[in-house]
Copies of this chain bind each other. A is one copy, B any other.
Amino acid sequence: MELTCTQENLNKALNIIGRVVNKNTTLPILDNVLMETEKGRLKLSSTNLEMGINCWIGGKIIKEGKITIPTRLFSSFIGGLPNQNIEIRQVGESLKLSCGNYRTEIKGLSAEDFPLIPKIKADPIVEIKSLLIKEALIQVLPSVSLSESRPEITGVFMDFSQLDKNKLVLAATDSYRLAERSIDLNGAKINKEGLNLLGEKKSLIVPRNTAQELSRILDNSDGELKIILSENQILFDCGSVNLISRLIEGQYPDYQQIIPTIFKSEAVVDNGEFQKAIKISSLFSDLKTNSVSLKADEKSKTVEIKAETGEVGKNSSKVAAQIKGEKVEIVFNHRYLVDGLNSVNAEEVALKMNDSSSPVVLSAAGGKEGKKDFLYLIMPIRG
């Protein structure tokens, strides 16, 4: 292999690639990045066996070839170089690099031992603005379960069953709270035949790490993302970066049935003020349960937030609110509440409640139609 590329391009690619690299792995070659010339470009790949990333950059290819190089060292090294051209030349299982006044030789491992990242050749099911998927992932990711006891909820649920209504739904739950985001597919390209691969349920579960990586890769630009399926794999194709991942098998819980459709009370609060009050109250909440209580009363026009622990002390505060309906008091885990308020991502939040043992639904308040696409449900702590 022999080529020339810019420090800027190689550095950018290594920053994307490097995140997938495992630490302390039992398979040392997974610490390496595969570099390979391909059709006049340089392809960089890394994998942790659950997912793999390929990234292509432009360059002047003088001689074809492939090699693997320790990712962390390579990434730190390239990151430190000046923004100039880098001449790269493979000599046996080493890479010789020359950039400005720097002359370097890095020892690698044979490309033959690098695990194959599967290729998926199929038409995309959906081609959609990257930004829409990124936004949705950021909203649902905090609710994905971290416990391995129920593997089917350790990923993001992608529901394609409403494509005919131009809707793609992303959801996540850890059984204490649920986040659901509906994405409007108007303007997206949809290939309904591709859906046959998903069978009757027309949905799939993307592992948490993959979803997290995808949300980072999708930049804030106006680029398009193609979602391509094979039997147990998914390919997210963003042009010069491809993310390929296994899918989680199993049946995602039918969460729709736990979302209440009627509510006895509704309180609308300023998101920022409400979060501040909950964070202060959380200092006085029990360390085991993380419980804070909310009391909404139409007459007082406030939501009262309270927490108390014997040894520490107690706190109460009031936040101005527009309240409709019955008086209600509910106890929550303050972490779930703050996560939810962040995910709602609106200046004013509506809390829709029934009683102290029923789930509460958070969503953006007000009439903006575009903001009605996200809901966050929290189970209360029963008194």
- Interface, chain A (partner B; CB < 8 A): 70, 73, 76-77, 80-82, 94, 100-107, 276-277, 279-280, 283-284, 302, 311-319
Nearest to A280 among chain B residues (CB) is B80
Copies of this chain in its oligomeric complex:
2
Alpha-carbon distance A100/B103, docked complex (angstroms) = 63
Chain B residue at minimum C-beta to C-beta distance from A96: B313
Complex A-B: 18 CB contacts under 8 Å? A70-B312, A73-B283, A73-B313, A77-B315, A80-B283, A94-B313, A100-B317, A101-B302, A101-B317, A101-B318, A103-B315, A103-B316, A104-B284, A104-B313, A105-B313, A106-B312, A106-B313, A107-B311
* Interchain CA distance A278-B102 in the complex, whole Å: 11
Across the interface, do A107 and B317 meet the contact criterion of CB distance under 8 Å?
no
Residue among B103, B312, B317 making CB contact with A102, cutoff 8 Å: B317
- Of A101, A279, A314, most buried by chain B (CB within 10 Å of CB) is A101
Most interface-central of A80, A82, A94, A280 (chain B CB within 10 A): A280
Rounded to whole angstroms, the CA-CA distance of A101 and B306 in the bound complex is: 12
Q: Is the CB of B103 within 8 A of A317?
A: yes
Beyond A100-B317, A104-B315, 12 additional contacts (C-beta under 8 Å) are A70-B312, A73-B283, A77-B315, A80-B283, A94-B313, A101-B318, A101-B319, A105-B314, A105-B315, A106-B312, A106-B313, A107-B313
The answer to whether B73 touches A104, judged by C-beta atoms less than 8 angstroms apart, is no
A107 is contacted by which of B283, B302, B312 (Cβ under 8 Å)? B312
Least CB distance from A366 to B in Å reads 23
**Min CB distance, A102 to chain B, in Å?**
4
A168 CA to B374 CA in the complex, in Å?
64
Which residues of B lie under 8 Å from residue A314 when comparing CB positions? 104-105
Which B residues touch A81, using CB under 8 A?
280
- Please, how many angstroms separate the alpha-carbon atoms of A283 and B76 in the complex? 8
Closest to A74 in B: B283
